[in-house]
Amino acid sequence: MRTSKLCLVCCAALFLVSGLAEAEESAWTLLKKGLKLYRHKRYNDAEHCFRAAADMDSRCGDAHYYLGVLAERKGASKEAKKHYARIQKESSVHSLAAERVGMMALKAGDLKTAEEKLAIVCKDRPSAGAWMQLAAIQLDAEKYKEAEKSLAAGEKLSKDNLDLVELKGRLFMETDRPKDAVVAYSRILKVISVDNNARYLRGTAYLELDRSVDARADFDEVLKRDPWHAGTLRALIRMYKDDPTMSARVKEYRKRLAILKKHPPKVRQASGSRREAPPPVKRR
């Protein structure tokens, strides 16, 4: 009798284990099918598979991750965040989800959440790019000590990353270190001499040092490559507005700015310029 009961218990246990294994296998099969559909841009069908996989196994982080991505595609940020929140820390996509939540927070102006989520990314998947993203957020939040540490961590992983060097230049300008900013922007120009953005920013750093001749040389060089560079036009207007001998130039520069304001270009980048930045703001 005791043997029969033991056999029944063992059979029940085996049935339960085999059922769980089958469920896990089915969830994995659905996930793979969903990924294939996702790669072929059949998003509605992919979403159906991911939902079925998540319902079958709530621990399937990949399914929740892609459900979040698809929700973002539809503009449903709240639904996306719910799916990302269900991903366990042990999941291989946890830091990917944290990055997406961080970017959504940044877009919404929530710098605190953005910083928290990007810090997770830097811890789980450290890279120069991740540290730069975190540093940029910290600069926006005026957390300069933290930003400097993040940039130092990123530089350890990629010493020659020029975008990181540009962020360092911004840090130096916003913490009243224009000499260091000049060094940073000069480092970029040594590698890419036609980088209008770096040359423009170096010109603004020269102005902070009262080196107007050097600033003017940089600004003139920028306009040779891009006569419509708005930041440079504004900087030269400020430099020349009280000089009667330059009134014709000031008039021409203002005319160009008026045209830009009336007909703003969707993309205006001169060769070698990664982007046009506004004048760095000195913050104390």
Task: Report the C-alpha gap between 58 and 74 in whole angstroms.
Answer: 23
pLDDT at residue 20 greater than cutoff 70: no
- Is residue 263 domain-resident? yes
Same domain, 54 and 129: no
Task: Report the C-alpha gap between 211 and 204 in whole angstroms.
Answer: 10
Say which CATH number the domain at 66 has. 1.25.40.10
Task: Report the C-alpha gap between 53 and 31 in whole angstroms.
Answer: 6
Counted domains in the chain: 3
From 142, 159, 176, the end of a domain falls on 159
Same domain, 105 and 184: no
Same domain, 103 and 199: no
pLDDT score for 226: 95
Same domain, 218 and 263: yes
- Is residue 119 domain-resident? yes
Dihedral of the alpha carbons of 245, 246, 248, 249, in degrees to the nearest 10: 160
- Is residue 6 domain-resident? no
- Is residue 176 domain-resident? yes
pLDDT score for 227: 95
Same domain, 177 and 280: yes
pLDDT score for 58: 83
pLDDT digits (tens, 9 = 90+) for 69-85: 999 999 999 999 999 99
pLDDT digits (tens, 9 = 90+) for 129-140: 999 999 999 999
Q: Are 133 and 125 in contact (CB under 8 A)?
A: no
pLDDT at residue 25 greater than cutoff 90: no
Same domain, 169 and 149: no
From 107, 126, 159, the end of a domain falls on 159
User: Quick check: helix, strand or coil at residue 19?
Assistant: helix
pLDDT score for 159: 85
Same domain, 130 and 42: no
pLDDT digits (tens, 9 = 90+) for 104-123: 999 999 999 999 999 999 99
- Burial environment of residue 256 by CB neighbours within 10 A (0 to 12, 13 to 18, 19 or more): middle
pLDDT category at 42 given cuts 50, 70, 90 is very high
Lowest mean pLDDT across 114-128, 189-203, 256-270 = 256-270
Can you list the pairs that 150-155 forms with residues at least 24 positions away whose Cβ atoms lie under 8 Å? 150/122, 153/122, 153/126, 154/128, 154/129, 154/130, 155/128
pLDDT score for 264: 84
pLDDT at residue 268 greater than cutoff 50: no
What does the block give as tokens for 81?
A: 């965040």
CA Rg value for the chain: 27
Q: What average pLDDT does the chain have? A: 86
Same domain, 207 and 270: yes
- Is residue 140 domain-resident? yes
pLDDT digits (tens, 9 = 90+) for 91-104: 889 999 999 999 99
- pTM exceeds cut of 0.85: no
From 136, 159, 182, the end of a domain falls on 159
- Is residue 3 domain-resident? no
- Is residue 42 domain-resident? yes
pLDDT at residue 18 greater than cutoff 70: no
**What is the span of the domain harbouring residue 100?**
93-159
Same domain, 147 and 174: no
Same domain, 168 and 154: no
pLDDT score for 26: 82
pLDDT score for 92: 86
pLDDT at residue 274 greater than cutoff 50: no
pLDDT digits (tens, 9 = 90+) for 195-205: 999 999 999 99
Same domain, 116 and 81: no
pLDDT at residue 89 greater than cutoff 90: no
Q: Which amino acid is at 197?
A: N
Same domain, 168 and 279: yes
